[in-house]
Amino acid sequence: MAAKAAGGGRWEVVKKGRRGPRALGEANGVWKYDLTPPLYERGFERILKRQNKEQVPPPAVEPKKPGNKKQTKKAATLANQNQKQGRFRSLEEALKALDVAALQKELDKSQSVFSGNPSVWLKDLASYLNYKLQAPLSEPTLSQHTHDYPYSLVNRELRGIIRGLLAKAAGSLELFFDHCLFTMLQELDKTPGESLHGYRICIQAILQDKPKIATMNLGKFLELLRSHQSRPAKCLTIMWALGQAGFTNLTEGLKVWLGIMLPVLGIKSLSPFAIAYLDRLLLMHPNLTKGFGMIGPKDFFPLLDFAYMPNNSLTPSCVRLYPRLKVLAFGARPESLLHTYFPSFPVQSHP
């Protein structure tokens, strides 16, 4: 029902008896997100069967015309065929084929029907884009692409529509971010699931202007990561989504790395992305002054321990990071901070 669709998602803790591996710590619970369906299924192609009569009046009943049964069946067949969205050979091709005017028309309809519920407008935007942008699936971290892919492929007109709607619904962006992330995780359970380009584009659009949305409650995302510890694809999807905050803001990126990625160092399937993300983050922000003071002894030494673990294939990458990490850790005046590191040196030297 529309009233249900218009409602926002909420977090709830579901207790679990089993404990996760030590590298991730012990989880007290598993965060689950109560997803509400968007106004339209499959990118506005079919309106939900049950709608709130107060908000959406029922369609007028037209008298049946004799002798048109064949035409009705033919029209229904064509409609069903149109509802089946095929995959494009590439995301670039899918974006070129996207009818921006049709998208705007559907968003206008959503805002008219649910004028007081911007969370529904945002969900409709994401579901429409994801349905229309069905292109070959990508691996979870998009490591073969630039940091701003796939949003970098979006043209100016479509960006204007997306950013305009985000501005109108500014108070619902945190909930919308959660919705996109959790819908992506749900799709990973399906075989075959839809490609996730539409949700990725929305996540990048949100965090490009509001990077703090990703770091407002990192604790819940760490618990979410723990709950999917046996599913590397889901963990990497979570890490990718949160990591988008860092490409426009070094401070928020370091918060994500320290709060989400540092705890997973040592997990074979996740460590390479964690190190690669930190490397890319620090290369994109050569001026490290905004990160001074964010890395302390409790972060610096565990990272060094990981870097020099025996048989660690990531040691060369960590060694390359060391000069920049040292600058972040010691700041502009190392002499004023080195005394805070000294008590840890004997412990490291004589375990």
Tell me the pLDDT tens digit for each residue of 28-78: 444 545 455 555 444 444 443 444 444 445 555 555 555 455 454 544 443
289: helix, strand or coil: helix
Residue 99 CA to residue 85 CA, distance in Å, equals 13
Q: With 70 as the cut, is the pLDDT of residue 14 above it?
A: no
pLDDT at 195: 85
- Mean pLDDT over all residues of the chain? 80
12: helix, strand or coil: strand
Amino acid letter for position 154: V
pLDDT at 269: 95
pLDDT at 179: 97
Residue 160 CA to residue 180 CA, distance in Å, equals 20
What number of CA atoms fall less than 13 Å from residue 307's CA on the CB side? 15
74-78, 104-108, 203-207, 210-214: range with lowest mean pLDDT: 74-78
Return the biggest CA–CA distance within the chain: 93
pLDDT at 16: 46
Q: Of 158, 50, 145, 163, nearest to 96 (Cα)?
A: 158
pLDDT at 37: 53
Helices and strands of the chain, counted as H and E runs: 16, 4
Amino acid letter for position 144: Q
pLDDT at 288: 92
Cβ partners under 8 Å of residue 10, min gap 6: 33, 34
Which tops the pLDDT comparison, 22 or 230?
A: 230
Residue 258 CA to residue 263 CA, distance in Å, equals 7
Q: With 70 as the cut, is the pLDDT of residue 146 above it?
A: yes
pLDDT at 243: 97
Q: Which residues pair with 31 in a beta bridge?
A: 13
Q: With 60 as the cut, is the pLDDT of residue 6 above it?
A: no
Q: With 80 as the cut, is the pLDDT of residue 124 above it?
A: yes
pLDDT at 64: 52
pLDDT in tens, 331-349: 767 766 666 766 655 545 4
162 burial (CB, 10 Å; 0-12 / 13-18 / 19+) is buried
pLDDT at 191: 76
Could you tell me where the beta strands, DSSP code E, fall in the chain? 11-14, 30-33, 40-41, 46-47
Q: For residue 265, how many other CB atoms are within 10 A of its CB?
A: 20
34-38, 137-141, 197-201, 256-260: range with lowest mean pLDDT: 34-38
SS (H, E, C) 267-311: CCCCHHHHHHHHHHHHHHCCCHHHHCCCCCHHHHHHHHHHHCCCC
CB 209 within 8 A of CB 246: no
CA 257 to chain centre: 15
Residue 227 CA to residue 229 CA, distance in Å, equals 6
Residue 30 parent element (H or E): strand 30-33
